Structure 1
Amino acid sequence: MKRRKLLGYAGAGLGASLGMGMIDQAQAQTTGVTIRSLGHTSFLFTGGGRRILVNPFRRIGCTAGFPSPAQPADIVMISSRLFDEGYLNELPGEPRVLTDPGVYDFENLRIQGILTPHDRQGGRHFGNNTVWRWAQGGVNIVHMGGAAAPLRVEEQILLGRPDIMLVPVGGGPKAFDAAEAVQAVQVLRPKIVIPTHYLTTVAGASCELDPVDNFLALMPGTPVTRAGQGALTVRPNDLPSQGMRIQVYQYPRA
């Protein structure tokens, strides 16, 4: 693996979080963000002049049949050091890699990582998970990574109300199941919900996740859009003016 710049803890807090509003306004004139599903919790976000890759994985178990998520990117964010959320060996180029909670400032971009447990035992089994929050192309995004514990009040304050929330729904020992995902969605009240981390037909036999339909069944009355392709562009004007909708991506195949 090539030598990479790993950015460590940069300080976090409510004051830093509130400061994101100025950056959000600066980006509001841009043309939106293109969100490409790479499988599992991995997505590539392109907009505002940047490519941000979240949670590249090793193809094994639940991710066995996906193509490699290693895409050219300027910034790579990982939610944990586990193989399904933090496999960096195949990445091309020299992206900045964010691994720890904290506040990271770039030109016209602030990214905040917020620490949560990666299991239902306070992180004692699988350690911690980093939830990522940032604004890109005038759209406020929260990627929950592999969150497994209910959101505490301080986490709710830091995360605010996102335009887009990517949330794990398939359960297992280290991420929300369908009911837990619904609870998190009801707390943050995003405008668009993108389910992640669920069973697909490309998973290996050892995968113990539940399908996305378990989550959808617990969200009756919420409009669901199923994408016919693996990438969609969301502009500020595309966001629902009231309520929320669920966006289910077509996942890639190797």
Structure 2
Amino acid sequence: MKIKWYGQACFRITAENGTRIVMDPYHDMFGYKLPELEAGIVTTSHEHGDHNNVGAISGTFEHIKEAGKFLNAGIEIKGIETFHDKVLGAKRGKNIVYHFKIDGLNVCHCGDLGHLLDCRQMQEIGKVDILLLPVGGTFTLNAADAAKVMKQLSPKIVIPMHYRTKALGKAGIVFEKAEKFVKIAKLNVSMEKELDVSLQDVDKKAGIVILDYK
């Protein structure tokens, strides 16, 4: 599969069979500009403007925006209800964490997760090979809590998201940089334009992968 990041929590995963999954497409804001994307599956973790611009995606797709189990083009998808904050959603509402079974790999997109996982949530998420994890704080997990969630789920590869980049300009001051998470996590780090990974080589690419949003 190929994994491309477009900033904030927006990713496109292209499976070996050609199916494209777009996660949390955003309205143009925070300095990022969403390119033209086509998909067969679109997931949104919650209804904030930097995560729910489904109208920007072209193609005939299934839009998944809730907890439950789904199957599309041979891809198993499970949505697990979590929260956008540490007070059961009282400040920022609910959030859906999505677990995908793609090409034999288990991918977990955390959306705007704002708290550590409880035992039930960890069990529902299950095995994780690749973790797409918010690390920027303020609106999501901060670097320290993100490192704890990483340990809870024990992925082979971690891809940070929702952190400060140059695209954010002055608005980025509210987010922590990815470097803070990297320092706490203490894992090997690689930088990629796009991650091309398979079941056969996932162990060789273990660690933190910083993706370019451009």
Task: Report the TM-score, using the length of structure 2 for normalisation.
Answer: 0.94
Q: RMSD between aligned alpha carbons?
A: 1.6
Deviation at 1:67, TM superposition (A): 2.6
Deviation at 1:107, TM superposition (A): 4.4
Deviation at 1:69, TM superposition (A): 4.5
Percent identity between the two aligned chains: 28
Output aligned runs, 1:1-254, within 5 Å: 33-49=1-17, 50-61=19-30, 64=31, 66-172=32-138, 174-207=139-172, 208-220=174-186, 222-227=187-192, 229=193, 231-240=194-203, 244-252=206-214
Q: Give the 3-state SS of the residue equivalent to 2:85 in structure 1.
A: coil
CA distance in 2, matches of 1:103, 1:140: 14
CA distance in 1, matches of 2:41, 2:35: 14
Counterpart residue identity of residue 197, structure 1:
H
Counterpart residue identity of residue 213, structure 2:
Y
Deviation at 1:108, TM superposition (A): 2.2
Q: Is the 8 A contact 1:182 1:219 kept in 2?
A: yes
Q: Which runs of 5+ in 2 are unaligned?
A: none
Deviation at 1:159, TM superposition (A): 1.3
Deviation at 1:124, TM superposition (A): 1.0
CA distance in 2, matches of 1:36, 1:81: 22
Partner deviation per Cα, 1:107-140 (whole Å, 9 max, x = no partner) = 4222100000111221012111100001112211
Partner deviation per Cα, 1:156-198 (whole Å, 9 max, x = no partner) = 11112211001000001x2100001000001110000000100
CA distance in 2, matches of 1:212, 1:56: 21
CA distance in 2, matches of 1:244, 1:185: 13
Deviation at 1:37, TM superposition (A): 1.1
Task: Tell me which of the two structures has the higher relative contact order, counting C-alpha pairs closer than 8 angstroms and 6 or more residues apart.
Answer: 1
CA distance in 1, matches of 2:154, 2:94: 24
Q: Is the 8 A contact 1:74 1:95 kept in 2?
A: yes
Q: Give the 3-state SS of the residue equivalent to 1:44 in structure 2.
A: strand
Q: Give the 3-state SS of the residue equivalent to 1:155 in structure 2.
A: helix
CA distance in 1, matches of 2:98, 2:207: 21
**Residue 29 of structure 1: aligned partner:** none
**Residue 5 of structure 1: aligned partner:** none
Kindly report structure 1 stretches of 4+ aligned residues shifted beyond 2 Å.
105-109, 204-207
CA distance in 2, matches of 1:178, 1:139: 25
Counterpart residue identity of residue 53, structure 1:
V
Q: Is the 8 A contact 2:76 2:102 kept in 1?
A: no
Deviation at 1:96, TM superposition (A): 1.1
Q: Which runs of 5+ in 1 are unaligned?
A: 1-32
CA distance in 2, matches of 1:105, 1:97: 12
